[in-house]
Amino acid sequence: MKEVVLRVCLVAGLAYGVACGSDDRADSDRNPRETKDNMSIAKGGGAGAAAGASDTASATSATSIRNPVVVFFGTSLTAGYGLEPEQAFPVLIEKKAQSEGLPIEAINAGLSGETTAGAARRIDWVLRTPADLVVIEGGANDALRGLSPDAARANLEQVIAAVRRKQPSAKMVLVQMEAPPNFGAAYTRSFRAIYTDIAKKEGIPLLPFLLNGVAGIPRLNQADGIHPNLAGERIVADNLWSALKPIIAQLDRAQKSG
Per-residue pLDDT of the chain (258 residues; tens, 9 = 90+): 433 333 233 223 333 443 333 343 444 444 333 334 344 466 665 433 333 334 444 444 456 889 999 999 999 999 999 999 999 999 999 999 999 999 999 999 999 999 999 999 999 999 999 999 999 999 999 999 999 999 999 999 999 999 999 999 999 999 999 999 999 999 999 999 999 999 999 999 999 999 999 999 999 999 999 999 999 999 999 999 999 999 999 999 987 555
Alpha-carbon distance of 75 to 248, in angstroms, equals: 22
44 exposure class (CB count in 10 Å sphere: 0-12, 13-18, 19+): buried
Phi first, then psi, for residue 172 (nearest 5°) are -135, 150
Which residue among 76, 112, 132, 142 is the active-site one?
Answer: 76
**33: Cβ contacts below 8 Å, ≥ 6 apart:** none
| pLDDT score for 62 | 54
Does the active-site annotation cover 224? yes
| pLDDT score for 257 | 52
Question: Of 3.60.15.10, 3.20.20.70, 3.40.50.1110, 3.40.50.10140, which CATH number belongs to 3-10+29-46+65-250?
Answer: 3.40.50.1110
- What residues does 107 pair with on adjacent strands? 43, 71
Which residue among 55, 124, 197, 224 is the active-site one?
Answer: 224
Does the active-site annotation cover 61? no
Answer whether 103's CB lies under 8 Å from 44's CB: no
| pLDDT score for 63 | 64
| pLDDT score for 36 | 40
Does the active-site annotation cover 76? yes
Alpha-carbon distance of 135 to 132, in angstroms, equals: 10
Q: Which amino acid is at 107?
A: I
The sign of the CA dihedral 224, 219, 42, 249 is negative
Q: Where are the domains of the chain?
A: 3-10+29-46+65-250
Alpha-carbon distance of 56 to 54, in angstroms, equals: 6
